[in-house]
Structure 1
Amino acid sequence: MKDRTVDRRQVVQGLAAGAALAAGGAGLASAVFPTPAIAKPSGEPIVLGLTISQTAAAGVADHQDHFNGSTLAMEEINAAGGILGRPLQFKVVDVDLLNAESCQAAIRSLVDQKVHAISSPFLFVPIPAMDASVAYGCPYVNGNTQRAATDLTAAHPDKYGHIFQMDPSEVYYGETFPIFLQDLEKSGAWKPKNNKVHIVQEQIAYNQTISRSCQEALKKSRFELAAVTDIQYPVQDWGPVIQKIKEVGAGTVMIDHWVAAEYAAFVKQFRSNPLKDSLVYLQYGPSQPEFLELAGRAAEGFVWSTVLGVYADEKGKAFRDKYKKRFPGKVMGLCYTGAGYDIVHMMKDVWEKTGKPEDFKANCAALREGAFRGVCGWSIMGNKRQEAVQYPVGTQDVEKGMSQLYFQVQSRESKIIYPFALKETEYKTVPWA
């Protein structure tokens, strides 16, 4: 709990610095990225609104990542002359991502401030936030990762046509998992001790959706469901769960949770009493920097994935280097750092294409018609749900979708092991074999 408090304080301090930067235009940006030959942006700012959680019980690290990535993009853009010669500016509002009223109030605040577009990391209750944006209608680009929200966009395009999910939905965590297992086995890097999969599932809708989609996908694979065990956030003691994992004895264990600090507690307890030779997969949460910080050496060998991750190709590596230089001294998150960065550059492209940041309809049309290649892959949202096409389920062409990335912690770093076309390294046998 003490570590979370420290992280939250750092978030607030970072946001205060970012607010000063947004208010000051390109002054600080020019100091960080000197471009003396380029005209300083001037005139009425183009304003991007951000919902960034500073005080919520969980999820603050992801939101700080999103803010940092966005800040880096804004600095680059303003240092290079702005957008249409105008400076880019942020309006930042606090949000409790688990509270419907707070999510709705955050969007209303940005609407009242007359922003030209909204950028948001995930909100666990996205629909109230969506509803709060309807009357205003500016482009609202998010990383909510929730099919219930994008299904609503598909069902009511006239109402929600201004809302875009720049990443694929959570259903793919379940749908892709057996594909990953089968491909890893075929590669020869992993030999499962049996074909059973044990799912440990949290109770929020997001995790329940993942569990259901995984169970359906397992029916179409050579792997089979062995058991489902329920957990409830916050998890105070993983001991009973680990005991159940050992009783079931599955060759693969999926921990379908999302909180990094609680994952860190799990891996420490599991390593002291492991299920020998089982592949243990942690859904998403290890993308948050505090996982590696808190878990330390105990994280070695665990596998995790994200449908929205920073690639390790030339473009992704260049971004990682810039980010680490701009925000030194801490573990870099590999999810919303890229999302925040990509959304800012995506909107820059849109505004430069239409030439009219104030024309919301034109800018939404440009988002639908465009294909944006960012550091997290392709955001192609010209479909009924207006969510990014996923690779490898939504498309089998890695250059026509956003790839779900599977990582393994090796030498206290998360390394991409799958899909093989994007891998950084090979899967290694777990230390508890």
Structure 2
Amino acid sequence: MNRRWSCWMGLWVGVALSCGVAAQGAKPLRIGLIGPFTGPSADFGLPMLNGAKLAVDEINAAGGYLGRPLELVIKDDTANADVGLQQSQEVLKEGVVGTIGFCNTGVAMKSLETFQTAKAPLIVPCATGTPITAKYPAPESYIFRTSARDGIQAPFVVDDIVSRGWTKVAIFADKTPYGEGGMNDVVRALAAKNLQPVFVARFDLGVKDLQTELKAAQAAGANVVFSYTVGPENAVIAKGRQALKWAVPQVGAWPLSFPFFIDGAKEAAEGALMAQTFIAEPSNERRISFLTAYARKFNTKKITVPMAAAQAYDTVYLLTYAILSIRDGNLSGPSVKAALETMPRVYYGVTATHEHPFSKDDKDAITSNMLVMGMVKNGLVTFAYPEDRTRNLFVQRKR
């Protein structure tokens, strides 16, 4: 293990921590982890789980929380909102100091009230629907997030496509809360540039054919397709364009980096563009360390959804940094919330350099300057622009 990671606690906390295994027999400090570890969203739920596990192992090797090992209380929501609600209620019975959870916006939205009512901090590392951190007034909210909300992803992508001259936008969005919110974010981002979509298609999850809608978008003069869905429907759109021999680009938020799209669409996915917080290339020491440790621990050369793994990894560290700043031993929900809002030390993470990631008035850790444009090339996601690869040598800070 990289010594910088294994000794991180003793370097900044200023307490007597040895860089070794957490004390034998010490009572574990429990952290909830909820996500889709089976079912249709497991392709990004499992990397989220693995990223969290990797961080916990590293922190425990460094001494845990004042000698107490961290322990994940893992709950599978199967990407089902009702199951997610039940698992949220269950995890709060397990004595957790905080919960990391949710990949699906609809699943998250149904469970937010459970955490807010219980005054139990929830940090969302994957789900990106803008309403997640907007449901409650920020000063009172116990809902934090370390993924890039669609409210910044959509404008970021719109800025890029407009700069390329692609201003006749067709939006294809599913009918889930994720698709609904993403579509609204794209429409707002276009309106800010005095543009409006030339065509909008809505569809149910599981749709196998969107030829009628694609032909209508083509007839409307669209020169780019902006898709908002998390599953194989993205591939349905790409393969439909290919079948029509309609050579317009497909752009979107981070689900265009998922296996459902890249493996499902195959050559039709080539050239697709999407917003990313993390691209699995060894662009600096932190990312090299993370990618090497992940590959070793999980015996794999490829992370199915690298962003999910990296964001969950950083989230575990951020929560641990927060609770280590609590000097009076009070690990109640309100105390942990306050600690997250006032973190005194910088966390040098994989996706970003987190200096004051949260505040009383801001529960989103990611800002648009932390994003880069990814592009599908030869079945992998790489940097769309050489300058982003260069800029990515330096991990960005919040603005």
Normalized against structure 1, the TM-score is what? Answer: 0.75
CA distance in 2, matches of 1:359, 1:163: 15
Deviations 1:339-374 (A, max 9, x none): 211111112212222253734333221211126442
Q: Per-residue deviation at 1:254?
A: 0.8
Change over 3 Å in CA distance of 1:418–1:404 after alignment to 2: farther
Quick one: which of 375, 384, 405 aligns to 2:350? 375
Show CA shifts across 1:247-297 (max 9, x none): 2332221122221x3323433343333323x22214322332343333333
Q: 1:104 aligns with which of 85, 88, 92?
A: 85
1:227 aligns with 2:204: no
Q: Quick one: distance in 2 between partners of 1:224 and 1:132? A: 37
**Cα distance in 2 between the residues matched to 1:200 and 1:289:** 19
Structure 2 counterpart of 1:146, one-letter code: G
1:291 to 255, 261, 266: 261
Match in the other structure for 2:156: 176
Q: 1:296 to 1:146 in 2, by over 3 A?
A: closer
Unaligned runs of 5+ in 1: 1-35, 186-191, 392-397, 426-433
Pair 1:195 & 2:159 matched: no
Tell me which residue corresponds to 1:267.
238
Matches within 5 A, 1:32-431: 38-42=20-24, 43-56=26-39, 58-99=40-81, 101-123=82-104, 124-143=106-125, 144-154=127-137, 157-158=139-140, 160=141, 162-183=142-163, 185=164, 192=165, 195-221=167-193, 224-259=196-231, 261-276=232-247, 278-306=248-276, 308-310=277-279, 313-314=283-284, 315-327=286-298, 328-355=300-327, 356=329, 358-370=331-343, 372-378=347-353, 380-391=357-368, 398=369, 403-417=370-384, 420-422=387-389
Residues 156 and 275 of structure 2 are in contact (CA less than 8 Å); yes or no, is this contact kept in structure 1?
Answer: no
Q: TM-score, normalised by structure 2?
A: 0.81
Q: Specify the code of the residue in structure 2 equivalent to 1:95.
A: D
Distance, in Å, in 2 between the alignment partners of 1:252 and 1:350 is 43
Q: How many residues end up aligned between the 2 structures? A: 364
Distance 1:163 1:220, change over 3 A: closer
8 A Cα contact 2:97 2:336, kept in partner? no
Q: Which amino acid aligns with 2:128?
A: T
Native 8 Å contact 1:311 1:376 kept in 2: no
Q: 1:59 to 1:321 in 2, by over 3 A?
A: same
Q: CA, structure 1 residues 208+216, in 2 after alignment: closer, same or farther (shift >3 Å)?
A: same
**Secondary structure of residue in 2 paired with 1:216:** helix
Contact 2:157 2:253 in 1 (8 A): no
User: In structure 2, what is the Cα distance between the partners aligned to 1:195 and 1:164?
Assistant: 34
Judge which range, 308-317 or 361-370, deviates more: 308-317
Amino acid at match of 1:74: V
Q: Are the structure 2 counterparts of residues 345 and 37 from structure 1 closer, same or farther at C-alpha, using a change threshold of 3 Å? A: closer
Amino acid in structure 2 at the alignment position of 1:287: S
For 2:365, what is the secondary structure of its paired residue?
A: coil
What is the Cα-based RMSD across aligned positions, in Å? 2.8
- Residues 263 and 379, structure 2, Cα contact 8 Å, conserved in 1: no
Give the unaligned 5+ runs of structure 2. Answer: 1-17, 393-399
Structure 1 match to 2:397 = none
Q: Give the ranges of 4+ consecutive aligned residues of structure 1 lying more than 4 Å apart after TM superposition.
A: 418-425
Q: Is the 8 A contact 2:179 2:229 kept in 1?
A: yes
Query: CA 1:420/1:214 → structure 2, altered by over 3 Å: closer, same or farther?
Result: farther
Aligned-pair identity in percent equals: 19
> Counterpart of 2:230 in structure 1: which amino acid?
W
Task: Confirm or deny: 8 A CA contact 1:44 1:86 kept in the other structure.
Answer: yes
Matched-pair contact (CA < 8 Å) for 1:51–1:107: yes
Deviation (angstroms), 1:74: 1.4
From the superposition, tell whether residues 87 and 255 of structure 1 become closer, same or farther in structure 2 (CA, over 3 Å): same
Counterparts of 1:220 and 1:321, CA distance in 2: 42
Displacement of 1:85 in angstroms is 1.2
The C-alpha deviation readout for 1:288-338, integer Å capped at 9, x for no partner, is 2343333333322111224x5457541234322322333315443122111
CA distance in 1, matches of 2:386, 2:332: 39
Task: Indicate if the aligned counterparts of 2:115 and 2:121 stay in contact, CA closer than 8 A.
Answer: no
* Structure 1 residues 207 and 378: CA distance shift in structure 2, 3 A: farther
| Contact persistence 2:157–2:251 (CA under 8 A) | no
